[in-house]
Amino acid sequence: MISRAKSEALFAEALNHIPGGVNSPVRAFRAVGGQPFFVNKAKGCRVTTVDGDELIDYVGTWGPAILGHAHPKIIKAVQDTAAHGTSFGIPNPLEVTMAKLICASAPSVHKVRMTNSGTEACMSAIRLARGFTKREKIIKFDGCYHGHTDSLLVRAGSGALTFGNPDSAGVPAAFTQHTIVLPYNDVDAVKAAFAANPGQIAGIIVEPVPGNAGLYLPKPGYLEFLSQITTQDGALLIFDEVMTGFRLALGGAQQRFGITPDLSCFGKIIGGGLPVGAFGGRAEIMDCLAPLGPVYQAGTLSGNPLAMAAGIANLEELQMGGAYGQLEELGQQLAEGMSSAAKAANIPLTVNHCGSMFCGYFTSEPVWNLADAMKADRERFKKFFHGMLNEGVYLAPSQFESGFISVAHTPADIEATASAAAKVMKSL
């Protein structure tokens, strides 16, 4: 049982000064009940709470910590860079190095522009797609999250071809009128949307492996289909690889599945734990950005030297080889361990995983999209989450979030996690 006294006191104080006591909603534990704990340090695959408890961490800063927390090369890179200044607002050499690393790793990216977050990257890519194609409509998929941009905070309407309705207060309906929301992995729905909107769709934005409704994978041929239909129609295919970029492979999901999108969005790993984002693609599209073209995009801290230094250290370490094979093995071990624990306890569980990303849904049915994910037993997940936390394992505090494995995890850590799962499953 983990201690909570100091965390509870901090949360009570935070509630007086921060809306909901947190700076990002999922941290509030509303999806699982109870109160969040506070952390003051992390190392490798473990975080340490303010009450002194050490937890095996599968959140990993929500994705960036692919090398584990406080990797010595990243820490040194940030320290060395900070000694020369934290921000300039002037071009710096690290921006060029980062751009070259991204372009070399993702061949679909000929040119890249840095931003400060994944939200900014996706927002800018959408604007660029509209500016380049001179079209207004965008297709996105139910369950895919592309940041809190007004036009992308959308839920599906009553039918597959209806325009989306705002998914947040404060977003005027007019802001989402050009966003079409479709079910993921549904080829016919995409065909129908293009047929109903001839010559009007600027592009499709998609998480190639959606990680914001848990985790589900593209069916065989689905991503290829999206590439083909956008090419045929003159629309652009935008891969949101904020999560999957440099995680599922050095070249991201596009390398893993052999797809060449027109634009790609990145974040998380390319900042090594610091705030960052980027979007890039074909040169002819990217050259539509100011100062060369008419599509405006800017950012005071874009290309910040600290974020660039941390990200470069992260990517260079990943380039050295071996990391992705290790992550594949750990991901497979965890999926098998969780599945075995559930089977032994006679608990229905579907474990989806792709490399170092994973999610377990408490359902006996396969999960291919948001509608499938919503069938999972969320009450059982709540009990499982708190049970695992009491066993010293920190999973994402929501059924609808992906888990992340780092190279700092060991087979022994995975085995300990599976053993904890077996114990908790028996109590459900």
**What phi-psi label fits residue 198: left (phi over 0), alpha (psi between -120 and 50 degrees) or beta?**
beta
Phi, psi torsion values for 239, nearest 5 degrees = -90, 120
89: tokens are 């607002």
Q: Which of 145, 184, 216, 361 is catalytic?
A: 145
Q: How many residues are present in the chain?
A: 428
Q: Which of 111, 137, 140, 268 is catalytic?
A: 268
Contact yes or no for 183/370 (Cβ under 8 A): yes
User: What is the C-alpha separation between 55 and 66, in angstroms, rounded?
Assistant: 17
Does the annotation mark 216 as catalytic? no
User: What is the C-alpha separation between 183 and 258, in angstroms, rounded?
Assistant: 22
* Of 31, 42, 26, 62, residue with least CA distance to 357: 62
* Of 387, 8, 20, 61, residue with least CA distance to 247: 61
Question: Cα 360 to the chain's mean position, in Å?
Answer: 17
Beta bridge partners of 353: 358
Q: Which of 57, 233, 240, 262 is catalytic?
A: 240
User: What is the C-alpha separation between 185 and 195, in angstroms, rounded?
Assistant: 18
Does the annotation mark 426 as catalytic? no
Does the annotation mark 134 as catalytic? no
B/e letters for 9-20, b = 16+ CB within 10 Å, e = fewer, are: ebbeebeeeeee
Question: Cα 150 to the chain's mean position, in Å?
Answer: 18
Residues taking part in catalysis: 145, 240, 268
